Structures are given as C-alpha cells and as structure tokens.
Structure 1
Amino acid sequence: MLVSHELHEGWSLTALTLTDDAPVRAGVTAAATVPGCVHTDLMAAGLLEDPYLDQNEETQHWIGHSTWVYRRSVQANPEPGVRYELAFDGLDTVAAVTLNGEEVGRTANMHRAYRFDVTDALRDGANDLAVTFHPVREYAHQVREALGERPNVYPEPSQYVRKMACNFGWDWGPTLVTAGIWKQVRLESWRTARLGRVRPIVGVQDGVGTVRVEIEVDRAPRADAPLSVQVEVAGHEASATLAPGASSAVVDLTVPEAELWWPRGHGDQQLYQLDVRLQDERHADLDQWSRRIGFRTVTLTTEPDSAGTSFEIAVNGVSLFIRGANWIPDDCFVSRVDRDRYRERIEGAIEANMNLLRIWGGGLYEKDEFYDLCDELGVLVWQDFLFACAAYPEGEPIASEVEAEARDNVVRLMPHPSLVLWNGNNENIWGFWDWGWQEPLAGRDWGWGFYNEVLPSVVAELDPARPYWPGSPYSGSPDRHPNEPEHGNHHSWEVWNRQDYTAYRDERPRFVSEFGYQGPANWATIDRALSDDPLRPDSPGMLHHQKADDGNAKLADGAAPHLPVVDSMDDWHYLMQLNQAQAVAFGIEYYRSLRPHCMGAIVWQLNDCWPVTSWAAIDGDGRRKLLWYALRRVYAERLATVQPEGDGRAVRLLNDSVTAATGPLSIGRCDLDGRLLADDKRSIEVGAGSQATVSIPESIATPGHAAGELLVVEWAGQRVVYPFLEDIQMQYPLAAFEATAQPTDGGVAVRVVAQTMVRHLTLLSDRVDPDSVVDSQLIDLLPGEEHTFHVRTTVSASDPGWTQAPTLRALNDLS
C-alpha cells in the first residue's frame, strides 16, 4: 500500500546570494514554515517589515532578485523493492531539488505538481533535502532573450515564466515576487504500482447519473503482473482488470437514483463520495483515491441570433442569470489563505446574493479547499487558464510548461461540480486587437495557439463534459472584434477609464464578465496599514496604496457629476465608497434589466490581496465596503429597478428564483417631506426565472419639481428610492435624525428616527470597533421613518461614536 509521510516541519531558510541593496547578509538563516514563502519567513524572523504597511514594498524588491535555500533532514529506512518519491504539490517557482547533494529535479512552474523518484538517492538514516529557489526574474529575462520581446500591459516579464502574474504587480496589487514551497510536500513509498491520474467524467442521461472513470497507473520497473481497479459511488460498484504491463483502465457506472447537484438558489448540493482502489493480483490494496462528485450537466450556449451572439450558462438544463464577481488571489502570500479564509470570502459572496465566482487569469488555480467549499455551498466557478494582459510566447520552454500545467489542473479540478467553465485567458485577444501589440509583435506568436488549439484540445481530451471558451472577452470568432458587446462575453471598462457611469446604458451586452469602479478600503483597514500624518487622499501612503493609473483623478472626475466636492478626509472616504457603490449598482441594475438579452454580470472584483484603493467589495483586511451592501441589494434573486422606456420610465421586475413572485407592486411619487403626490398599486406575478416590465404612468413619472421629488418603488420585500435628478442636483434638506444605541446579544443596536428625508444613511461601524460587522448600509428614510442597524461588536453601546459622525452619517449631511 502506498505510504505517505508529510514533510512540513523542521525546515530552515538560508539566503544564498543577495543583491547589493539587501538589508541582510548572505548566509543568514531563519526557521521556515512549509507551506510558506520567503517573505513570510523573513517577517516571522523579524528580518523584514510587513510589506503591506506604508511604503515598505518599495524597499523589498531585492527578495525577488536573490537565491534562497530551503533545507531539512529526512529520516528514512529504505527497503529493497520499494520505490520512493518526493511529491511537491507546489513550488514557487524556479527551483532545483537535491537529496544528499544529488539533484533529483528542477522546476520552472508555480502552477504544477511535481513528483521526483529518489529511490537511488535515499540513504538509511538522515537525508539532507534542499530546495534552491533561483531568482525568477533572471529566468524570465533568459526566456525573453531566447524567444523575443513581447508586449505586456505592465513593464514586467510575467509572460516568460509560469508564475502568478500579479506577483509582479497589478493596478490593485503590489510588486512582491515570491519564492517558496507554497503547497504540501511528502515522501511517498510504494511497491508494484500506484494510481497516477484518475479522471471521473460525470454526467446525467435521461435522469440517470453516469460516471466514466478513466484511470492511469504508474508501475514499478519490471512490475508487469495483472492489476485491478475497484470503483464505488453511492453504493454502486464496478471494476476492471489491467492486463500484465497495461497502465490504464476505464470503468463505467450508472447511479439510477442519483440526486442532482444544483447551484445555490436552485436546489440542493448533493455530493457523492467516489472511491477508487488499485489492487494486485492477490486483491491486496496498493493505492486508493477518493473525491466527492456531483451529478449535473452544464452547457454554454453561444448561438447567433437577431441581436448578435448569445452567451448563456445552463445547469441541468436551466438557464441562469449569472450574478457574480471576479476573484483574485486573496493574499500576495498565497500559503496564508486557508480553508477558513476561503469560507469567509465565499460566504461573503453568497450573502451578497452571488451565484458564481470567476477565477481570474492573472492569479492561481486555487487550492482544493476553495473548490470543495464551492461544491458544498453551491457557488459556480468559472476558471480562467492563467494568462492575463500580455502577449505570451508559444515556443519552448513555455509551450511544454503550459500544456503540462493545463493537464495537471484540468485533471485535479474536473471532479468538482461547481466548476462550470474553462476560459482560455484574460484580455489577451482584446489586447492583440486594440492595445498596439501587432506592430511590435511583427508576426510572432502571442498566445493564440494556446487559446485556440492547445487548451481546447486538453479540455476536450481530459474533461469533455465541461465547456471551454477561448477568452474573456471574446466575441466567438477570430474575425470579429473580441469585445463587441452584442457578441459573446464583454468587458466594460470605458466607464471607469473615461466615461460617467450612466454610460453603462449606452451598450446592450449579452454577458458582462468584467466591469467595476474603485473605492478606498474601509477606514480601519487604512488606519492599520498607514501612518500618514495627516492622512489625505494624496498623502504618501494613500498614493502608494493606489495602484491604478491616475486613480485618484478618476475617482474625483467620476464622482463630480453625482456627489458634492469635499475637503476633509472623512467626507472624501465616505463619498468615494458611496460613489463606487452607486456606479456598480447602476450598471448591474441595467444589465439585469436586459434579461434575457443579457444573461450575466460578473463585477470586478470581490476581494483584495492587501490594503488598497481598488474595485473590491471586500477589502484587504476582509472588511465589507459599501459596495458589498449595494451588491447584496442589486444581486437579490428578486429585484425591482427603474429604467428608461422611450421618453418615459418603466419598472423592470426580475425574478431569478425557482418560484413565481406574486404580490403587490407599489410605484409612488413623493416630495422630500414624504407627502405622496401620485401613486399606482397593482398585483403582479412574475414567473420563476422570468421578468416583467411595468410602464410607470406619466402622472408618476413626470415630476412637478424634479429637484424636490422622489420615485419610490416597493416590490418583493424591497423598497427603492430613485431621485429624479442626480444627488448633487437635489434640494435635500440638511439631514436631521435622532439616534440611540442599545446593547443587544452579541453587539449593539443603533436606532435612527428620521426628522427629515435622509439619503444613504450609513453606519461606518469599523470607526468605533475595527472588528465589528454591521448588518445594513445605505438606507433611505422619509421623515418619521426609522431604521435600526444591528452591529456585531464587543464595544459598549455607551460609546458616543455609535450615534455621531463620522461613524453615523448620511449624504445630505454634506448638503
């Protein structure tokens, strides 16, 4: 039977060669954590300041230019006839592995798993195991010299090495070029044979669950005896025999009573254990493999129609409107992201009513725990292959690494029912068309062969039950501009870069897989990370933690048509988070109003990897920004939104749930004192997975005094207030309200009673307690109405901060 010994303890880290500006000396040694990386080990040893704080990042680039050695002793008692292998699930990135001074393997890919035969190198007793990480930049520069320069959005060599691209910096992330043993490592021993790759191809045919298990076996030298494989799932068993010398087998099973796996909101997430055992001719177990699978079908429909080309994901034959977010690595030091952290982020997406996360191509194939949790919680996963914002060479050594990496990860991830789409790249096809790449490329390859040939071939061979799409964005044809809104999937970035967010309505996309707007991190996150005194939007630390090109100017320009201009940091912080929430909510409401013409909106982005001004809804310390609360509203299964209709307005009712929505719809026009001026009430039914449009009567849609009147829509438990003009043009009174704080089980309840109309009432609870969580934000109240914020906190209700600015505030505080 295969025996596995984890090798996670007793490692040391030594600086072998260093740059001249390194603050430590060559030969310095520190205790190492495995899994981990150089940066975290140096921080733990007190040899490195936290790069997330202030401007520390700028003084730490020497780490990525240096050579590092991880070393430990391995006790062994090798037996004759037993094969011994070192198994590394992840090495970051350019490494040489030696055992007792003998090189047993080399790596140049962060995204692959490696297995090295050490049978002949292993000694009885203590063995010296070392992993030397060479400077990844030097390797990348060598590849660039061999294959030729190619364009990159960033002045970095990320496309010349198979490493997490955002380690080299992004417009939301720092440049922290890591090295280390970032996943598990084991010494494994076995006789005769072991399981190599196991691929369950899971489907549903005529209501019956099917599994085809394709199995590859590694045999020891001269081990040619017959073998057998036993497969079991949901109480059903089947087996196959491998003839002498054979190394593969196929086992088919049917599960007539299989319950379907559904995405959240559509049914249960039924999972079944699939067990595979490898046995010798005497029926003794040699190895075993277990994973959870789910029975479901998935299709991607991209059909031409009168409006362009559709892009529609269906699970178990049910078309879904995708309400999602893009996911980036949750930490620059990815070994720090464990199951609990994954769960917290994924549950944050669920609580914001999302049903899909897109794993973006500049990051990682995430660890198994991420996909396990998505399986359990019913969150769909769109997985990019790891190419982003650059022209990639297709020659060696990159070509072989790309194919091996794709094969590794397709096989690893294919058992997960939550995974519904493989996507070839992020923005590279668009870049080739529009970003000035063609002239400098001068006919050289740039990655199209990967996206159009290599990757779809790998998916078709290894994971034929799951769809593949060449890129995001991509319009479905190499002869058509890749970012046409009417065809395929679209990225909408003109709003952030150049246009007001009302320009979202200028296009009619079929599916939007990226769009977004920036806002600062939460106050407590900024306060922890920066020591600027005074703290200002343009103080040194704030500017360093704003990586977007001309980002602060874009924030100011984008807010100017909607919100007042302010001087204080407190007001700026509130308004920039508010404008981010307003902008993204505006876009999502519009995209959802287009259903079924448009069948998805994936906002950029759910999470951050460090404290930064960015597009994220959850900041780098895990705090929920105002955007998160806006997403929870506009991603609700049932949404009412007011949209233009000809020269008038209409209410668009969206029902993504599995049951019909039947009940009252109320549309009213009132003044800022809350007096109802005109209204319309009716009962309406909106079918499951459907939508309806209700024209707003002219008497309601036409204000008598636009700057002093509001539209109020109530449906399906929601109430939404729409000013007739931009907030900056409205004649809101100065906000007046009474606020009291009372202790509750687990926290504080802050009750607010409005004396005037109150716009976007917000409780920035982290300003009182950095660890607090508030249940609601961005509340609109008419005079006499009230709202209670429930805060999870350990701070007493007697703290005066709960009921006053800058913690408790409204937009019309600033009028």
Structure 2
Amino acid sequence: MGETKQVLHNWKFKACEEKEWMAAVVPGCVHTDLLRNGVIQDPFYATNEHDLQWIDKVDWEYESTFDVEEDLLGSSRLELVFDGLDTYADVYVNGSHVLSADNMFRSWKADVLHVVKAKGNTLSVRFRSPVREDLPKIEKLGYNLPASNDQSELGGLGEQKISIFARKAPYHYGWDWGPRFVTSGIWREARLEGWSGCKITDVHIQQNQVTAAAASLTASIEIEAEHAWSGKLKLSTDGLSWEQQVTLETGNNVILLPLIITDPKLWWSRGLGEAHLYTFKAELLQEESIVASRTVRTGLRSIRLVRDKDAKGATFYFELNGVAVFAKGANHIPNDSFITDVTDERYRHEIVTAVESNMNMLRVWGGGIYEQSVFYELCDEYGILVWQDFMFACSMYPGDEAFLNNVRLEAEENVKRLRNHPSIVLWCGNNEIDSAWAQYDEEGGWGWKKNYTAEQRAVIWQDYEKVFHRILPDAVEALAPGTDYWPSSPLISLSGDIKQHAHPLSSEGDIHYWGVWHAVEPFENYNIKVGRFMSEYGFQSFPEYDTVMTFAQEQDLALDSKVMRAHQKNGDGNRLIKEYMDIYMSEPKDFPSFLYMSQVLQAEAMKMAIEAHRRNMPYCMGTLYWQMNDCWPVASWAGMDYYGKWKAMQFYAKRSFADTMISFDRTDDGQVQVHVVTDLLAPLSGDLQVTLYHFSGERLKQALLPIAIEGNSAAVVFALNEQEWLGEHEAGSVMLHAVLEQEGKLLDSKEFYFVNVKEQKLAKSAIRITELEGSGGTRFKLEADVLAKQVWITAEHEGMFSDNFFDLIPGVAKIVEFRLRETGEPQSKPVHAGNVQARSMIDFLAESKIEIS
C-alpha cells in the first residue's frame, strides 16, 4: 500500500537527424541545453536572437536511461508522468510508444508497468518542430488568423502566423517586449509514480460561505482505488479533525466531507491583515494505519467581483471578506524567455518587490504560462491577489474539434491545479481579443475584421464564443464554483451588442488605456481617462547602463544601432521615448544619461496615472500598470528589469501605492488640490503641512491644518489658489511640499511642481551623504544645498536602497537604508553599502543640444 515517486535524471539530447548526443538538463529546453553545451552563443546578447531561428525548425530527441527503484517495482500501478512537455512530443519506453503530447499547458501520463524492467530502461522523448507541425494547418484552414504580436518574419515565415495553432506560451513567438524563441523541451518534472491499494489524487477545499464567525466548507476528496475498499477518511487542520467511514469502489471515487470552522482566521490581502493559511491533511486509515495521504494549503476568505449598476454606470471591484479592496499592482509576464531558468529565488524577488512596492494584486497575463506553483504559493503567503488569465492573447483561434477539446482539457486541469490558492480571485478568458476583433462595431477594433469575408468572420466569431463564452466559463463554474469569470480584458459587459467592447471612457468594466504611448497623447490625459478598473496602461524606458552593457558594447550605444533596435521590440518605441522626452524633459548629455532620463520620464508618467486612479476611488477601484517584469534585458514597460533591478518607476510606484498617500492635483480654475487617499480601514486623522519652497531652500509660504477622512477612501483635504501662492515668484523656481503627520510620525510627503522639468530652473547641487552612526554602513542621511531633482544613489556593493530617484529639498533631509535580498530570505536585510555616490538630474543634462541617436 502507499505511493512512491522517482524523479528521472541522467538526460541527454540531440537533433533527431544527428548522431552525437549532448548532456541535457531536465526541466529545461533545447535552447538552454545548446547554450550549456557551447553550440550556440548567449541568445540575449547583441542580435544573436536573429541567428538562432533555425532551432525551432528542427526535430529534437531527449533520452534518459534509468533503473526502477526497488520500492516502485512492487507497485500494482506504475505511471510515467510529465508535468509539462513543450509541445509536440512522442514518448517511447524501451522502444514502445506510450504517449503523444500536443499541449504545453497539460500534464501527460502513461501506464508503464508492463513496459519497464528492473534495470537498464531507456526513455525517449521526440519533439517535433512546432513550426513544421503547424505550417500545414494554415493551408488547411485557408487563411491566416490574426496574431498581431507573432514575429513570423523574424522567424523566417513571412506573414504565416502559426502561434495560434499551438497550445504553447504565445510569447515564445515574440511580443512587443520579448524575443522570438520557439522552444521545445521537457519543461516540468518527469518522474515515475507507483502506488498500490488506494491513492488520494486531489483534495479541494470548497469555500461555501466564509465569515469572521464561521467558515462553511466542503472538502472534495478524489481517491483512486485499485479494488473495493472500506475504512476511515480523516481530514485535519490546525488541531481540528473530521472523520467518516467510507466505502470505495474500484476506480475513481469522490468523497464530499462537510466542514465547519468557527472563528476562522481569515486570509487577507497585503495591507488589510494577515494572509493566514490553513494546511489540510487528508488520510485514509485502516485500523489507524495510514493507507494514503495528501495535504493541501489554502486560506479562508470570501471573494467576489462586484459589478453593481450605479448612477455613473456599474462598479468593478473585488470585495474581500466584505471589504471593498482598491487593487494596486501590475501585469506579470513570464520572468524569462526560458522558463526553467527562473529559480524560486527569482520568483521570491518579484513577489517581495510587489510587497515592498505596496501592491496587493498581480495580473497573470494571457500570453505567458499558467505559472509555476511557487509563484502562487508566494502570492498566498504574502497576500498578493491574483487576476489569472487563461493563456490566450491578442489573436483569434481555430475552432476545430481537436483544438476545442484540447483547450477544454487544458482549462479543466489548470483550474483544478490552482483552485485551492486563496490568492486567485478571478479567471479571465483572454487578453484584448474582444476589443481587438470588436464583433459588434464595424469601425472598431484593430482592423482585423476587414481581412475576412462575411462567412469567414461568422466562423471566426463563433469559434471565439465557443472558447471564451462556453468552454472556459464552464470549466471555472464546474471546478472552482464561486470564483468569478471575466470573458476578456478589457470588456464593458457581455451584452452581445456594441456596448460590449471597452473604450477609454467606459463607465463599466475594465479598461486598457494606451492613448498615452501608442497614440502619443499627453501624460495629462491620465487625469482624464479614468475608468472603473484600469487593468493595463504603461510607458516604456530603458534599463540602466549596467544592464544594457550585458547585451551591448560601447559602439552600440545609439538609439538607432542594430543592437539597440534588436532590444526594442515595439517598433516605434525608441522614437516615442525620445518624442515624449523632448516634450517633458531637458536634453540628456550622452547615451548613458539618456538611459537615466528615460527611466525618470517613465516614472513621472506612471506616478501621474497611478495617483489619478487612486484619487478617483471609489469610482475607480483598480490600477494595474503594464508591466511588472521582463523576460530578457530590453527596453520595455517594466518597472523592474530582467536582472531584478528596480528602475526609477518601481521606487515611484512604491510611493504612489503607499497605503496612505498624499497626491496633488491641479484644477482647470487655477486651484491646486491636496488629496489624501487611504486603503486602511480605520478613519484617518493627522496634521497636514503645505510649504512653498524656492529651489534655493527658502520657505516662502506655509499652511498648517488638521485633516480627517474616512477609512478606505479618498478626499480633497486642502486647496490653494495657484496665483495667490505664486505671487511674484517664477513658476519654474518654486515648488510645493506637503507633509502628513500623525502624532509626530510621518505618514507621507509629496512634491508638486508648477511647470514641467524642461521649464524648471535647476542649479548644480552639492549633495552631502552622511553615514548614520552605529549603522555599520547601512543607513545614510542625504542633504542638498539647493534643490536636487531625481537623486540617484549608487553603492559600491551589491544591494538596493530603501528609496531612490527622489527630490532633495534644502533643509529637508532624507534617510535611506541599503539592503540585500539574500537567497531564501523573505525580505531584504540591511547590509554594508561600501562607497555611496549620489547624482541628480542636473548631472545628466547637456549644456548644449546634442544628438543622441
């Protein structure tokens, strides 16, 4: 009786037509194995991506030899299990074909009891080229389906968009921030599983009703039995246990066990309370000896997406344990083009970055993968809510029976795999397809429809509805009842008419606002185009100089160099950064300065957007910027680069996402308003001080007043007349500084400038850095003699400052701490910084206009 596992190691690989084998690592992929063996150069360096497009047109074979461990040999059942095969694979054990795979997002199993022997087994996995596999499908279909981000030309395929046929990570085919590496390989664990008697295959803690007083649950326990069996089923957690006698039939059994937990410890998102987790253990007992067992971890909470009609349209917010949560966060993409290179520590760095940036939500975007378990476990532990897309993005998909069935099985498996995670609060059908196709608006969308006949359009839309209005919601309803499903992001509502498709001024549903950036609208439009839930918006920047130098050389440091263009996947990206910089910023003196200025520009844009969204609560109840992270070193919308380094924007986001925040706003009638926003549930009172400073540090005017606002709200607490406060002073030489304190403790502070950076009269500032006594080189005080804008501190040693890219006002000191996030450490800890340097924007500006392109 019992269950045993044996992970399979000792792998080698080769191109099918070659004779020579090379060492392989599983989990892994062909690209990383070729790199490890010195066959290819670093795929991310310079323009190497362009030279590696041959890899996806070759068939590859992986082979392992193994002996079956003794305790497995005696099992009644023995299965070969692959948690992930990417993508078209045929599997052979000792020459016998045991399974064929055609979906990266599903696991694959085969009964191998009668195929294996005790010693000297050979396992072979042959991967068919995804390009050669799928090209014939276009001819069969008769036309290309839209797939805007599929970089088919780079892959040597011209206009032939094949990504839509493969149930494989869409971003592998290229995106407007990512390279085209169409991988093949064993990307999750491969193992043997043996068992006899009974095996608990799944435990789902269904949350029927959860309140602070009681949690009414149903444990759904799936058991596979080799033969009829009677005994006791026991479920336990946190000192509580439930038992019942069970009689199992041969095959699959589902036992439902009702549970009540009184006074449960609830699971809360970051900022609202503890993210408490319960571990439930299910055991089958025969006369008190354990026959089979399985544990799962979950958090007890009530969650719903609230879409109630109101005077302005309809709400769109998440209610957690009865509390309306303002969602603060970003869109998550895979952390690497080669997923198996992402260590647990890299996942932890991302989630802790979200926590330290005062976020409470990440959206797992639909062009990547259903993430590795560790991602969701960390979100559970840290109280980060997850908006989970199914893996469909910016494309129309085929609707043949085989494809639809594959999608149905994929959806069922992934909903089932992830449903115990309390962090997952929404399943969303796809990214941007409803608004891109715009079925009910002849002039709307991305112009896709015009490429098809009326008959083709009807078929394409019917196929869309089969997947996103039937198969996917059915899977969620059946397997994760109580979890909300949203058909497409963005969407107004599933109305079946022109009112369905989202637009930047929708007063219902969620919005992706890209007028700033793609349409070159001014940053100020972030203040105007505010919806009920802003699930995407963004602005690009370059990573810092050290990151750029991991893929470039000095001679490549020009915007239009071949290398810099290869690391800018949004066609107009470099031009757009430069165009916006010319509008809002002063001229940088050289290319490294341009990199710094691009980050400052991005940070200022995102600050304006985030704070506009938060000031507008409860009308707007969510702000998720694009994007959290990068999958390679590149110019992109990310706030944190490929190596985990925070850009200026990440420090800005941390400040603008603060649980209690001050925000300035300027009205059309010449008023400057001070808003206070708090996500904390208790009423807030404190003392507000607003000071007009000259850039020299002279205090020109000041207001002091007590303020009070409700918990979980936003309010204007002070307004001043701009002309009265400016008086005779030049708008480009003065600033406002607001400070909010509660019983002497600083809650927040914020600056306001009357004109853009370009028009500000900045002078060279001397920044004094003083190491705080007794800190061991970890804490520093910074002071400036005149206003120092966008102070960027760098350290000799590895690590990160607690704040960066901030303004220093003369007479207002800033204290920062230097920290290092060590492997396995949940949070970063103070560490010696070594030599510390600080530069401000003036150090990066050109004295005369120069060409940086």
Q: What is the TM-score normalised by the length of structure 1?
A: 0.93
- The one-letter code matched in structure 2 to 1:495 is V
**In the alignment, what sits opposite 2:690?**
667
- The one-letter code matched in structure 2 to 1:643 is D
Q: In structure 2, do the counterparts of structure 1 residues 564 and 432 end up closer, same or farther at CA, with 3 Å as the change threshold?
A: same
Deviation at 1:577, TM superposition (A): 0.6
Deviation at 1:487, TM superposition (A): 1.3
CA distance in 2, matches of 1:586, 1:595: 15
Deviation at 1:569, TM superposition (A): 0.7
- The one-letter code matched in structure 2 to 1:666 is Q
CA distance in 1, matches of 2:605, 2:41: 36
Structure 1 counterpart of 2:509, from 476, 481, 488: 488
Structure 2 counterpart of 1:445, from 460, 465, 471: 460
CA distance in 2, matches of 1:524, 1:699: 42
**In the alignment, what sits opposite 2:266?**
260
**In the alignment, what sits opposite 1:45?**
37
Local SS of the residue matching 2:601: helix
C-alpha contact 1:4 1:186 (8 A) present in aligned 2: no
Q: In structure 2, do the counterparts of structure 1 residues 393 and 779 end up closer, same or farther at CA, with 3 Å as the change threshold?
A: same
Higher mean alpha-carbon deviation, 613-622 vs 559-568, is at 559-568
**In the alignment, what sits opposite 1:29?**
21
Q: In structure 2, do the counterparts of structure 1 residues 713 and 742 end up closer, same or farther at CA, with 3 Å as the change threshold?
A: closer
CA distance in 1, matches of 2:276, 2:812: 44
Matched, 1:395 2:400: yes
C-alpha contact 1:679 1:700 (8 A) present in aligned 2: no
Structure 2 counterpart of 1:715, from 731, 740, 747: 740
**In the alignment, what sits opposite 1:589?**
611
Structure 1 counterpart of 2:293, from 280, 288, 292: 288
Higher mean alpha-carbon deviation, 89-98 vs 121-130, is at 121-130
**In the alignment, what sits opposite 2:51?**
59
Deviation at 1:723, TM superposition (A): 1.0
**In the alignment, what sits opposite 1:299?**
304
Q: In structure 2, do the counterparts of structure 1 residues 530 and 714 end up closer, same or farther at CA, with 3 Å as the change threshold?
A: same
CA distance in 1, matches of 2:125, 2:834: 56
**In the alignment, what sits opposite 2:155?**
none
- The one-letter code matched in structure 2 to 1:41 is D
CA distance in 1, matches of 2:109, 2:63: 18
C-alpha contact 2:593 2:845 (8 A) present in aligned 1: no
Matched, 1:420 2:442: no
Measured against aligned partners, the alpha-carbon deviations of 1:612-634 in whole angstroms (never above 9, x if no partner) come to 01111110011111111000100
Q: In structure 2, do the counterparts of structure 1 residues 785 and 712 end up closer, same or farther at CA, with 3 Å as the change threshold?
A: closer
- The one-letter code matched in structure 1 to 2:13 is L
CA distance in 1, matches of 2:586, 2:693: 24
Percent identity between the two aligned chains: 31
Q: In structure 2, do the counterparts of structure 1 residues 798 and 287 end up closer, same or farther at CA, with 3 Å as the change threshold?
A: closer
Local SS of the residue matching 1:560: helix
Local SS of the residue matching 2:222: strand
- The one-letter code matched in structure 2 to 1:4 is T
Local SS of the residue matching 1:166: helix
C-alpha contact 2:362 2:386 (8 A) present in aligned 1: yes
- The one-letter code matched in structure 2 to 1:658 is L
Matched, 1:782 2:809: yes
**In the alignment, what sits opposite 1:458?**
475
Deviation at 1:788, TM superposition (A): 4.7
Matched, 1:374 2:379: yes
C-alpha contact 1:242 1:249 (8 A) present in aligned 2: no
Unaligned runs of 5+ in 1: 18-25
Unaligned runs of 5+ in 2: 151-160, 439-444, 821-829, 848-853
Measured against aligned partners, the alpha-carbon deviations of 1:573-613 in whole angstroms (never above 9, x if no partner) come to 11101000000111001111100000000011111111001
Local SS of the residue matching 2:704: strand
Q: In structure 2, do the counterparts of structure 1 residues 15 and 812 end up closer, same or farther at CA, with 3 Å as the change threshold?
A: closer
Structure 2 counterpart of 1:554, from 565, 570, 576: 576
Deviation at 1:394, TM superposition (A): 2.2
- The one-letter code matched in structure 2 to 1:461 is A
CA distance in 2, matches of 1:612, 1:347: 22
- The one-letter code matched in structure 2 to 1:710 is M
Q: In structure 2, do the counterparts of structure 1 residues 656 and 133 end up closer, same or farther at CA, with 3 Å as the change threshold?
A: same
Measured against aligned partners, the alpha-carbon deviations of 1:475-515 in whole angstroms (never above 9, x if no partner) come to 11332242233111100111011212111122231000011
Local SS of the residue matching 1:159: coil
Deviation at 1:209, TM superposition (A): 1.5
Higher mean alpha-carbon deviation, 109-118 vs 668-677, is at 668-677
**In the alignment, what sits opposite 2:219?**
213
**In the alignment, what sits opposite 1:20?**
none
**In the alignment, what sits opposite 1:23?**
none
Structure 1 counterpart of 2:559, from 532, 537, 541: 537
**In the alignment, what sits opposite 1:436?**
447
Deviation at 1:244, TM superposition (A): 3.3
CA distance in 1, matches of 2:684, 2:208: 32
C-alpha contact 2:412 2:475 (8 A) present in aligned 1: yes
- The one-letter code matched in structure 2 to 1:464 is P
Q: What is the TM-score normalised by the length of structure 2?
A: 0.89
Matched, 1:618 2:624: no
Structure 2 counterpart of 1:681, from 704, 707, 712: 704
**In the alignment, what sits opposite 1:270?**
276
CA distance in 2, matches of 1:285, 1:531: 62
Local SS of the residue matching 1:486: coil
C-alpha contact 2:81 2:107 (8 A) present in aligned 1: yes
RMSD: 2.5
C-alpha contact 2:87 2:168 (8 A) present in aligned 1: yes
Matched, 1:85 2:79: yes
Q: In structure 2, do the counterparts of structure 1 residues 813 and 242 end up closer, same or farther at CA, with 3 Å as the change threshold?
A: same
- The one-letter code matched in structure 1 to 2:637 is W
C-alpha contact 1:233 1:273 (8 A) present in aligned 2: yes
Deviation at 1:333, TM superposition (A): 1.1
C-alpha contact 1:740 1:803 (8 A) present in aligned 2: no
Local SS of the residue matching 1:190: strand
